[in-house]
Structure 1
Amino acid sequence: MTVFASGQSFYGTGGVIHDFKGGFKIDSFPIEVSGLHSKIDKNFGIAKICFTILHPKVSDLKIELISPDGTSIWLTNRNGKDRGRHYTNTCFRSNGFSGYVHQAGAPFTGEYIPDGRMTFLNNGQDPNGTWYLMVQDLRTGEKGALNFVTLEFSENPTPNTDVSPCSMEDGTACKCADGGEGCELLPDLIILPRLTLDQVKEYPWNDPYYPGQLRLAASIANIGEGPMETFGNNKWYCGSEEVKDSMVICNDETHPRQQINQRIYKKNGNKIEWQDRIAGTNYFDDKPGHNHYHVDDWVEFRVVKEIKDKKGNVLKRELVSKGSKVSYCLFDSGICNNSDSICVLNGKTYGDKNLVNYGLGNYMDCKSLKQGISVGGYDTYGMMYEGQYVSLPKGLKSGDYILEVEVDPTGIYKEKDKSNNTFKMPIHISQQE
């Protein structure tokens, strides 16, 4: 049953959130919306969603909101670290005063900025129809329940989300770094330190879930003049053998890889042009919580021991452990803002006030054809996501080490500056037995 209240708030009832049983399953909870204007945009649209979910391990959960036209955003994906319980009167809006949900702790009581961007929903669509709260449990062991969910529509639904007038359709307002009328608008990828600093944890070898793992989060931002965009060319391969399409299953029972191009945008006077260059590959990731396309070998994690002399100078570096190159879905899970402390590197905050062509790109999902990170956008993977760890060797001596996180470790994408692709932080490891 849904109830219409005050012309702009809509309520849906809850239900059971089923435990993961090894297969793809999403619990969907409908919210019926009616009687609103036939178009939602930056002037009037969806402003807030609230719910209460009782669940003893919320990092098992991926929670999305999907609109009547099929557009969806991540509200919160595997947040709460390893022991967080419940979402209690949790709300999401574009400028939530409680901060980013991926930096908060359970039970998340308050108003948070979601993992996705609310602006993607206010896309000119007709809001009347059925919206769904989609909840997916991704790990066996616990089940929960949704108590309620509400949607709120209002004027100025996503304040403080304006972008520059630079666009793909009209390059007049786009800028070159040197002030000229023609240039390549290259991306510049960095690891945002704050998220990794906030989410890193060592697990002992007797841990039942993550034995011997150093788990960590990583957030990749684009602070360049142009978007980081990959574009599929519809050539699919099992190893070196070209196959018909993405529906083929390779002999090793994996999905085929699609060759992808990096699309480089160029400013030419008042026009935006582009040119493709062959880059890496993507593939369909069917692991729980994904079921979309990932770009291969996007980040790499390393633990390093530095050997120093008495004066503290580094004499040599020894690689202790290296994770496999992790594949990511590339999309804008957030956008940098000069008024917060997320997009900070070497003491400088990046956002709409100092990134030329801010907002150029606009990537909302993980399709085989196109993915990317906008200018000023960032793509976040929390510490409870698959692959977000380094396995520590048994018998590793306790002591001080260096954790390194590198984006584009194979160096196949063209950027403005590759010298800032690696983030390093000191960590203390307890003895692994």
Structure 2
Amino acid sequence: MPLFAQSFIAPGGRISDYSGPLIVDSFPIQVNGLSGHLGDGFGLGKVCITIIHPRVSDIKVELQSPDGSTIWLTNRNGGAEARDYYQACFRMNGFSGYIHQANPPFVNGEYIPDGRMSFLNNGQNPNGTWWLRIRDLREGETGTLNSFTLHFEEGDYSDEKQRPCNENYPEACQCPGLTDSCDLLPDFIILESFTRSQIKEYPFDHPYYGGQLRFAATIANVGDGPMETRGSDRWYCGEDEVVRNSLCADGEYARQELTQRIYHLADGELSWEDRSAGFNYYDDKPGHDHFHVDDWVEFRLVKEEDGNLKKTLIAEGRKVSYCLFDTGICNNLDSLCTWQGQVFGEKNLPNYGFGHYASCNAEQQGISVGGYDTYGMLYEGQFLQLPEDLPSGEYWLEIEIDPLQLFYEKDRSNNLFRMPVLIQYQEK
């Protein structure tokens, strides 16, 4: 049977207001009559939604395929005042740009989603039940999914630009400097364009974010190997070993001892070593419901004086834990993955695509070579609480990756991102 373009449309329904972290509204759509496998010259080209909601920054929208793979279409985007997605479509190379960088209204555009559509175009049979899953993550407003559409078509739906280095094809892997043997180490950087486009100071009388400086943080891996964590199945409350999913005395879930998998290349063969590297734990805060790697980033606001010779700490956030997986992948066609003027992508990352991390679970999570992991401005923990009576003026925002130096990487000198921030004092 020949492949051809075909669309499937389904009605929606009411979107429940937030009343707990596990509440999700699921809307099915049945796909049948398609031949072939997704990604092999034929794939899910775009997804379109119409959601009527007075505050779309409350909601997270995911698409799940018949084989259980899930990606984020949009997660708490648009800022605190944005409303509605009206025939807003999501495509791998959407002409309207990244949804997290787009400005509302979200009407009749084609956006690049918060997740990678290649994780759905993964060779699976497209026939079966697909699900659109919507979570409202802040109480006070309700909305409606009017309809959603899946559009399948011929085309290249892989975002891998070359035959990737991986465990099954080690001949494609390269050591830096083309030496015969090496450790293939990750290298973490903050992608500054995400933070610069998503940062906002909220007044003290704001009903939800009073006195907060909120900002996005996106971490890319521009190294020679993946950032990969593995669970040990050893769980602790403090120093006491417990069973998985135990609730500790402080009300938090038990933490699992992690290892970092380090890949070694020698004479065209790959091996690996697992080394101790911190902990992860189950995070049940709104919008999460998955496992986070502990102490992944730290945020600071500082004031520089005396010609930048004196630095005073103004505000410090807790060390924030992240769920590590590929929400996107760098390419050389835009300037998104830039550090100190260098753009990273398939052309200058020899082991581009090494790793495959579509979700974050207890057993394995990470960031592939050339992949990046995004936490938006309105995500849990993405803020600094400003001191009352803080004078107006220029300060510096600092975001540091792996502040406890728990993970082994190629270069630590680029783990600290700094940018000037103009604070405008607003009386409480």
TM-score by length of 1: 0.95
- Alignment pair present for 1:350 and 2:344: yes
- Write out per-residue CA displacement over residues 58-116 of structure 1, whole angstroms, 9 at most, x where no aligned residue: 11010000011111001111111111111111111111111111100223231111111
Q: Please list every run of 5 or more consecutive structure 1 residues that lacks an aligned counterpart in the other structure.
A: 1-5
1:54 is aligned to: 52
Specify the SS of the correspondent of 1:172: helix
Separation in 2, partners of 1:253, 1:163: 47
2:43 is aligned to: 45
Q: Please list every run of 5 or more consecutive structure 2 residues that lacks an aligned counterpart in the other structure.
A: none
- Alignment pair present for 1:335 and 2:329: yes
- Alignment pair present for 1:88 and 2:86: yes
1:389 is aligned to: 383
Specify the SS of the correspondent of 2:397: strand
Relative distance call for 1:415 and 1:275 in structure 2 (3 A) is: same
The within-5 A match list for 1:45-194 is: 45-109=43-107, 110-158=109-157, 161-194=160-193
1:3 is aligned to: none
Could you tell me whether the CA contact under 8 Å between 1:46 and 1:157 is conserved in 2?
no
Separation in 2, partners of 1:160, 1:373: 15
1:211 is aligned to: 210
2:7 is aligned to: 9
Relative distance call for 1:136 and 1:318 in structure 2 (3 A) is: same
Q: Displacement of 1:38 after TM fit? A: 5.0
The within-5 A match list for 1:239-250 is: 239-244=238-243, 246-250=244-248
Could you tell me whether the CA contact under 8 Å between 2:21 and 2:137 is conserved in 1?
no
Separation in 2, partners of 1:325, 1:31: 40
- Alignment pair present for 1:361 and 2:355: yes
Separation in 1, partners of 2:160, 2:53: 32
Separation in 1, partners of 2:40, 2:209: 43
Could you tell me whether the CA contact under 8 Å between 1:43 and 1:156 is conserved in 2?
yes
Could you tell me whether the CA contact under 8 Å between 2:26 and 2:131 is conserved in 1?
yes
2:311 is aligned to: 317
Tell me the matched-pair count.
Answer: 423
RMSD of aligned C-alpha atoms? 1.3
Specify the SS of the correspondent of 1:178: helix
In the alignment, residue 184 of structure 1 is paired with which amino acid?
D
Relative distance call for 1:119 and 1:75 in structure 2 (3 A) is: same
In the alignment, residue 335 of structure 1 is paired with which amino acid?
I
Relative distance call for 1:411 and 1:77 in structure 2 (3 A) is: same
Specify the SS of the correspondent of 1:184: strand
In the alignment, residue 108 of structure 1 is paired with which amino acid?
F
- Alignment pair present for 1:264 and 2:258: no
Could you tell me whether the CA contact under 8 Å between 2:160 and 2:353 is conserved in 1?
no
Q: Displacement of 1:160 after TM fit? A: 5.2
The equivalent position to 1:377 in structure 2, one of 371, 394, 408, is 371
The within-5 A match list for 1:420-431 is: 420-431=414-425
- Write out per-residue CA displacement over residues 346-399 of structure 1, whole angstroms, 9 at most, x where no aligned residue: 111110111110000010001100000000000000000000000111111111
Q: Displacement of 1:270 after TM fit? A: 1.9
Could you tell me whether the CA contact under 8 Å between 2:118 and 2:158 is conserved in 1?
no
In the alignment, residue 287 of structure 1 is paired with which amino acid?
K
Could you tell me whether the CA contact under 8 Å between 1:284 and 1:294 is conserved in 2?
yes
Q: Displacement of 1:253 after TM fit? A: 2.1
Separation in 1, partners of 2:64, 2:165: 28
Specify the SS of the correspondent of 2:176: coil
In the alignment, residue 265 of structure 2 is paired with which amino acid?
K
Q: Displacement of 1:345 after TM fit? A: 1.2
Q: Displacement of 1:23 after TM fit? A: 4.6
Q: Displacement of 1:34 after TM fit? A: 0.2
In the alignment, residue 233 of structure 2 is paired with which amino acid?
N
Relative distance call for 1:265 and 1:146 in structure 2 (3 A) is: same
In the alignment, residue 353 of structure 2 is paired with which amino acid?
G
The within-5 A match list for 1:287-302 is: 287-302=285-300
Q: Displacement of 1:249 after TM fit? A: 1.4
What percent of counterpart residues are identical?
57
Relative distance call for 1:223 and 1:165 in structure 2 (3 A) is: same
Q: Displacement of 1:183 after TM fit? A: 0.6
Separation in 2, partners of 1:396, 1:33: 56
Could you tell me whether the CA contact under 8 Å between 1:33 and 1:131 is conserved in 2?
yes
Relative distance call for 1:363 and 1:159 in structure 2 (3 A) is: closer
Q: Displacement of 1:163 after TM fit? A: 3.8
The equivalent position to 1:286 in structure 2, one of 281, 284, 287, is 284
Specify the SS of the correspondent of 2:279: strand
Relative distance call for 1:298 and 1:163 in structure 2 (3 A) is: farther
- Write out per-residue CA displacement over residues 267-308 of structure 1, whole angstroms, 9 at most, x where no aligned residue: 122221110110110000011111100001111110000002
Separation in 1, partners of 2:40, 2:280: 33
Specify the SS of the correspondent of 2:49: strand
The equivalent position to 1:402 in structure 2, one of 396, 399, 402, is 396
Q: Displacement of 1:127 after TM fit? A: 1.3
